[in-house]
């Protein structure tokens, strides 16, 4: 029995060696000494790098503590998502995507369709993707979904997809492998953006795909090599270094998010409040089944009366940056409709709780709501 907090501090580290650091530094190399035949673990820097190897081993240990997962790291979450979809799908295949997933999925859809792949979508909530699964080659799940925070039953969807021979990939960005382990729930791939909570400091873009199937891993790795969507050694090393605090960050962020959601539930101007850890949330029962207790993620979503109200709220915050992305150590929030990609109301706020003291954060948010309310009352 090893707890996650213990596992993360040693994940992917080499055996201790006298006079060497615990986590060796980034290896900067476009090519490696290669006498004789072109064989060996490290030959050219687009194919493999020891810093990636250590990071990939670490993430694999978190996604699948039994050591059975192969992980391929990428330059970004989108690189990882595209790698899985475009390496597995062929012209004439059908794929099921969530209709409420990450904002770039519509662009991915257009690209897939241009290659002769049929794309079907359905909402994450109520496992609605089951209804359009018939004959599909791959099912793409995002749970909890970003930014709406709906949850679907990974096990149920994976079983249904496998019965008809479809592959299943789960976007595990929001939960992180400490919040949920899609491979244990039957998924073929756990894919994520490491840019968010996994690395958590808002200073790295990264992505990865994990699978227990060696052949699937190899095809994703070949995709990485052919499109060249490789992570930099420095980013890979920063990501590995950041993993050591993942359990601390996830626990603190989840506790803060729950405290904030609880406080927001009492506010009359707040509607559509969502957080999977909140007992009254429509996703809570299912989230409790497949996510780890107390690790429901950093994100709280809610709706304020209109655009002006939401903008006043955001500008009155002092501990929360008006910025996109989520999962970082510093709290951030944004009016999501400003991007135009998600189907959300003008006053929709996605707030990501950092690792500040929850009481400070709750006070700051409630104060900003008061400021926005006063401004609204004055017209
Ligand atoms: C951010 C995000 C991505 C894309 O990741 P990048 O690292 O920004 O490319 C994919 N899926 C979800 C759910 C995300 O939040």
DSSP string computed for 163-201: HTT-EEEEE-TTTHHHH--TTTTT-SEEEEETTTTTT-S
Three-state SS for 47? coil
CATH number of residue 78's parent domain: 3.40.640.10
Written as six digits, the tokens of 180 are: 């949920």
CA neighbor of 113 nearest in space, from 92, 133, 137:
92
| Whether the CB of 78 sits within 6 Å of ligand 1 | yes
**Ligand 1 centroid vs 116 CA: distance in angstroms?**
25
Q: Verify that 217 and 295 share a domain, yes or no.
A: no
Pairwise CA distance, residues 201 & 360, whole Å: 20
Q: Is the pLDDT of residue 228 over 70?
A: yes
Tell which of 216, 243, 270 closes a domain: 243
Q: Verify that 204 and 250 share a domain, yes or no.
A: no
| Whether the CB of 296 sits within 6 Å of ligand 1 | no
| Whether the CB of 173 sits within 6 Å of ligand 1 | yes
Q: Verify that 37 and 142 share a domain, yes or no.
A: yes
Say if strands 70-74 and 321-322 run parallel, antiparallel, or are unpaired: unpaired
| Whether the CB of 247 sits within 6 Å of ligand 1 | no
| Whether the CB of 171 sits within 6 Å of ligand 1 | yes
Q: Verify that 97 and 213 share a domain, yes or no.
A: yes
**Ligand 1 centroid vs 293 CA: distance in angstroms?**
24
Domains of the chain: total: 2
Q: Verify that 263 and 164 share a domain, yes or no.
A: no
| Whether the CB of 121 sits within 6 Å of ligand 1 | no
Range of the domain at 371: 246-377
Q: Is the pLDDT of residue 378 over 80?
A: yes
Nearest CA to ligand 1 atom 7: 77
Share of the chain above pLDDT 70, in %: 100
**Ligand 1 centroid vs 193 CA: distance in angstroms?**
5
pTM for the model stands at 0.97
Pairwise CA distance, residues 250 & 327, whole Å: 9
For residues 42-57, give the mean pLDDT.
Answer: 98
**Ligand 1 centroid vs 242 CA: distance in angstroms?**
18
**Ligand 1 centroid vs 192 CA: distance in angstroms?**
7
Tell which of 243, 261, 292 closes a domain: 243
pLDDT of 360 reads 98
What are the pLDDT digits (tens) for 94-126?
Answer: 999 999 999 999 999 999 999 999 999 999 999
**Ligand 1 centroid vs 44 CA: distance in angstroms?**
28
* Best residue for ligand 1 mutational test, from 84, 180, 195 (most atoms within 8 Å of Cβ): 195
**Ligand 1 centroid vs 57 CA: distance in angstroms?**
21
Q: Verify that 133 and 21 share a domain, yes or no.
A: yes
| Whether the CB of 353 sits within 6 Å of ligand 1 | no
Helix (H) or strand (E) holding 57: helix 50-63
Cβ neighbours of residue 113 under 8 Å, at least 6 residues apart? 119
**Burial of 32 (C-beta count, 10 Å sphere; 0-12/13-18/19+):** middle
What are the pLDDT digits (tens) for 290-347?
Answer: 999 999 999 999 999 999 999 999 999 999 999 999 999 999 999 999 998 778 999 9
**How many C-beta atoms lie closer than 10 Å to residue 11's C-beta?**
22
Q: Which of the four pLDDT bands, split at 50, 70 and 90, describes residue 355? A: very high
**Are 315 and 322 spatial neighbours (Cβ–Cβ below 8 Å)?**
yes
Written as six digits, the tokens of 355 are: 């690792």
Angle at 235 between CA 323 and CA 214, to 5 degrees: 110
| Whether the CB of 77 sits within 6 Å of ligand 1 | yes
> Would you give the end-to-end CA distance of the chain in angstroms?
59
pLDDT of 342 reads 78
| Whether the CB of 347 sits within 6 Å of ligand 1 | no
| Whether the CB of 146 sits within 6 Å of ligand 1 | yes
Tell which of 243, 262, 284 closes a domain: 243
pLDDT of 51 reads 98
Q: Verify that 266 and 228 share a domain, yes or no.
A: no
**Ligand 1 centroid vs 16 CA: distance in angstroms?**
34
Sheet (strand 271-274) strand order: 271-274, 299-303, 348-352, 332-335, 321-322
Q: State the virtual CA torsion across 57, 291, 350, 366 in degrees, nearest 10.
A: -120
Pairwise CA distance, residues 316 & 338, whole Å: 18
**Are 8 and 242 spatial neighbours (Cβ–Cβ below 8 Å)?**
no
List Cα–Cα distances, 141 to 69, 81, 148, 177, 191, in angstroms. Answer: 19, 11, 14, 15, 10
Q: Verify that 207 and 225 share a domain, yes or no.
A: yes
pLDDT of 163 reads 98
| Whether the CB of 49 sits within 6 Å of ligand 1 | no
Q: Verify that 267 and 213 share a domain, yes or no.
A: no
pLDDT of 379 reads 77
CA dihedral for 357, 358, 364, 367, sign (positive or negative): negative
CATH number of residue 283's parent domain: 3.90.1150.10
| Whether the CB of 64 sits within 6 Å of ligand 1 | no
Q: Verify that 202 and 141 share a domain, yes or no.
A: yes
For residues 6-24, give the mean pLDDT.
Answer: 98
pLDDT of 195 reads 98
**Ligand 1 centroid vs 342 CA: distance in angstroms?**
14
Nearest CA to ligand 1 atom 2: 193
Pairwise CA distance, residues 144 & 175, whole Å: 7
Q: Verify that 71 and 140 share a domain, yes or no.
A: yes
**Ligand 1 centroid vs 78 CA: distance in angstroms?**
6
What are the pLDDT digits (tens) for 139-183?
Answer: 999 999 999 999 999 999 999 999 999 999 999 999 999 999 999
Average pLDDT of the residues of the chain: 97
| Whether the CB of 172 sits within 6 Å of ligand 1 | no
Q: Is the pLDDT of residue 38 over 90?
A: yes
Q: Verify that 257 and 141 share a domain, yes or no.
A: no
**Ligand 1 centroid vs 33 CA: distance in angstroms?**
36
């Amino acid at each position: 029995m090893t707890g996650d907090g213990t596992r993360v501090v040693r994940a992917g580290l080499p055996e201790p060696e006298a006079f060497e650091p615990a986590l060796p530094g980034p290896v900067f190399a476009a090519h490696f000494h290669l006498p004789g035949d072109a064989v060996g673990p490290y030959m050219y820097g687009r194919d493999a790098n020891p810093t990636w190897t250590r990071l990939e081993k670490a993430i694999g240990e978190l996604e699948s503590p039994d050591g059975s997962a192969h992980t391929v790291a990428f330059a970004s979450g989108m690189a990882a998502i595209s790698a899985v979809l475009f390496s597995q799908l062929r012209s004439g295949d059908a794929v099921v995507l969530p209709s409420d997933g990450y904002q770039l999925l519509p662009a991915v859809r257009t690209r897939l369709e241009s290659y002769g792949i049929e794309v079907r979508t359905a909402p994450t909530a109520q496992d609605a993707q089951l209804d359009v699964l018939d004959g599909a080659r791959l099912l793409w799940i995002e749970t909890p979904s970003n930014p709406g925070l709906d949850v679907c039953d990974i096990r149920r969807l994976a079983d249904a997809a496998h019965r008809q021979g479809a592959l299943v990939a789960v976007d595990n960005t929001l939960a992180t492998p400490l919040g949920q382990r899609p491979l244990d729930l039957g998924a073929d791939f756990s894919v994520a953006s490491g840019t968010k909570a996994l690395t958590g400091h808002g200073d790295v873009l990264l992505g990865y795909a994990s699978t227990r199937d060696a052949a699937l891993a190899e095809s994703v790795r070949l995709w990485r090599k052919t499109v060249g969507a490789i992570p930099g050694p420095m980013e890979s090393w920063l990501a590995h270094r950041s993993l050591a605090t993942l359990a601390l960050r996830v626990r603190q962020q989840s506790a803060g998010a729950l405290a904030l959601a609880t406080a927001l539930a009492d506010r009359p101007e707040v509607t559509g409040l969502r957080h999977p850890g909140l007992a009254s949330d429509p996703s809570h029962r299912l989230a409790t089944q497949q996510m780890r207790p107390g690790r429901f993620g950093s994100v709280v979503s809610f709706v304020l009366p209109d655009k002006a109200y939401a903008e006043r709220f955001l500008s009155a915050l002092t501990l929360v940056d008006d910025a996109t992305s989520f999962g970082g150590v510093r709290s951030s929030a944004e009016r999501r409709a400003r991007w135009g990609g998600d189907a959300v109301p003008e006053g929709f706020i996605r707030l990501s709780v950092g690792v500040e003291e929850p009481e400070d954060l709750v006070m700051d948010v409630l104060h900003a709501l008061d400021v926005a309310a006063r401004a609204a009352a004055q017209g």
